Amino acid sequence: MQLADYLDKGASLGGDLPCLTTNGESLTYAEVQRLSWRIAGALHGSGIARGDRVAVLSANDALALTCVFGISRAGAVWCPVNPRNEAAENRQLLDLFGCRCLFFQEKFAELVQRIRGELPELTTLVCLNGSVEGATTFAEWVEHDHRVPDAVSPADDDLCVLAGTGGTTGRPKGVRLTGHNLEAATASTLMSYPFGERPRYLALAPLTHSAGVLTFPVMTLGGEVVIMPSPDLGEFLRLIERHRITHAFLPPTVIYGLLEHPDLDSTNLGSLRCLWYGAAPMSPTRLEEALSRIGPVLGQLFGQTEAPNMISTLAPADHFRADGSIAVERLSSAGRPTPLTQVAVMNDAGTVLPRGEPGEIVVRGPLVMAGYHEDPEATAAVSRHGWHHTGDVGYLDEENYLYIVDRAKDMIITGGFNVYSAEVEQALMAHPAVQDSAVVGLPDDKWGERVTAVVQLRPAHGTTPDELTTFVKARLGSVKAPKQVEIWPDLPRSKIGKVLKPEIKDRLAEG
């Protein structure tokens, strides 16, 4: 299946039903279909051919998502661009991908003007919602009726998405995702989580990332996608009640904020069937609180851009024991491998390790990307021994639950001992005053590396560095307890909410 096929599948179940809803206004499946065909025709009329790359630079928006389906119908390749990236990073990505057309919202016109002069292949600029010098307005662009030749219909093993990854250090890479890759992600989602007829999905997180991939299984069932143009937890709760939302996705840090929101306990969340969480580890302590207050609907997904979303899953039912009590011993796991993906744990020599022994998590199957764009060396490095290497350290237990203990690059060697930063972070997060934490290793004359923690406190809570050190020492022992604790008002984060440990290290070194 290609991206437009998910829209068409939903339309076959009822073209007059709501497909995309924003600010209370809905487009039906039939309306989104018709508009996507007009977009495909306009792309063809602009000289965009099969396999050409077309970028979309937009906040969450129904028209921007419709453009994705139009790009697919034209046989072109969707290049999602994160509007929160720095201009230089977006220029690098558009240049790397060789994008020929860019859809963008008017509020990003300044960013577009800064980079367009350095992108000679970018010949078509279309502003989705306004008039910008040097760009065609969307309404003018689609007013002509261009026919899309049948020959542009791509095969399932054709490239359909080029997504940027990395970018926090060095030049970003382009992940090549085919129709088969997205089909595996969609099928795994439908197999792994509870769905009923016509789900209603609330998109608060950026549609350029996991939240966007999750729209495809919703559409195959003829579901409605309610799009939030900007993140607002109060509005998120109101929309759940108003639209009887069944599915949503939030990163852990946003769920922590939701648990602090004054309207949470008074909001009727009875329609929810699955609140996905992922993109970063979640504190078992806060997860247990969420299960108690939000309900038995939390569902974890573990993946990465190179293997989107569905490497392993912890379905809502897996958070509980047979007697209905919360399975606290399982809350720190990333669930079990999905049906279409093989998962193993491997050492540096390429030997698959036995259960319980930590090593690098490796995966293979139709979920795994077709390689990095125009980067054979990076592709070979990440694909050695016939498996895709995730860069995560973890282990599989006797029940085949996957536990992620750290990023390989984040392991700290102190006094000759290996300390997994994620383990220390989870211990800190168990403290009632801690909202979030990051643990890094800093150079130390005595220990080699010094376990150093930076924490963000929950609103209206207080503690001291000495108290936090003692708290961790009681749980993990003196070797793993941080030798230095800093309390910051907030932690530096990437565009999708991940904590930026390199920046933390730089700030600590400067301090």
Domain ranges of the chain: 27-177, 411-510
**φ and ψ of 212, to 5 deg:** -75, -40
- DSSP codes, 473-498: HHHH-TTTS-SEEEE-SS--B-TTS-
- 3-state secondary structure at position 202: strand
The span from the CA of 5 to the CA of 395, in Å, is 37
Residue 186 is encoded by which pair of tokens? Answer: 């969609």
Task: Show the beta-strand stretches assigned E in 271-414.
Answer: 274-277, 298-304, 307-314, 336-337, 342-346, 359-364, 388-396, 402-407, 412-414
Give the single-character DSSP code of 421: H
Residue 316 is encoded by which pair of tokens? Answer: 């809502």
**φ and ψ of 70, to 5 deg:** -65, -40
The answer to whether residues 318 and 327 touch, using CB atoms and an 8 Å cutoff, is yes
Between 3-11 and 29-45, two packed helices, what is the crossing angle to 10 degrees? 150
List per-block mean pLDDT (blocks of 10 residues) for the chain, which spans 511 residues.
96 97 97 96 93 96 97 95 83 94 96 91 95 93 75 70 70 91 97 95 91 96 97 97 97 90 96 93 90 97 95 97 94 96 96 96 97 95 96 94 85 78 88 92 83 92 94 88 93 78 88 74
Residue 179 is encoded by which pair of tokens? Answer: 């129709």
End-to-end Cα spacing for the chain: 52
Single-letter residue type at 442 = L
Instruction: Compute CA distances 399 → 310, 315, 331, 334, whole Å.
Output: 19, 15, 14, 13
pLDDT in the model for residue 168: 41
Q: How many CB atoms lie within 10 A of CB 342?
A: 15
The pTM of the full predicted model, rounded to 2 decimals, is 0.85
pLDDT in the model for residue 255: 93
Q: Up-side HSE of residue 294: CA atoms within 13 Å toward CB?
A: 30
The span from the CA of 258 to the CA of 240, in Å, is 13
The answer to whether residues 204 and 231 touch, using CB atoms and an 8 Å cutoff, is yes
pLDDT in the model for residue 443: 86
Q: Which residues contact 373 (CB under 8 A, 6 or more apart)?
A: 96, 97, 162, 173, 174, 175, 176
Residue 413 is encoded by which pair of tokens? Answer: 């060697």
Task: Show the beta-strand stretches assigned E in 131-236.
Answer: 136-137, 159-165, 173-178, 200-203, 224-227
Sign of the dihedral defined by the CA atoms of residues 404, 405, 408, 410, in that order: positive
The answer to whether residues 156 and 180 touch, using CB atoms and an 8 Å cutoff, is yes
Q: Could you please state the CATH topology (level 3) that the domain comprising 27-177 is classified under.
A: Rossmann fold (3.40.50)
pLDDT in the model for residue 61: 96
Q: Up-side HSE of residue 354: CA atoms within 13 Å toward CB?
A: 0
The span from the CA of 341 to the CA of 310, in Å, is 8
CATH no. of 411-510: 3.30.300.30
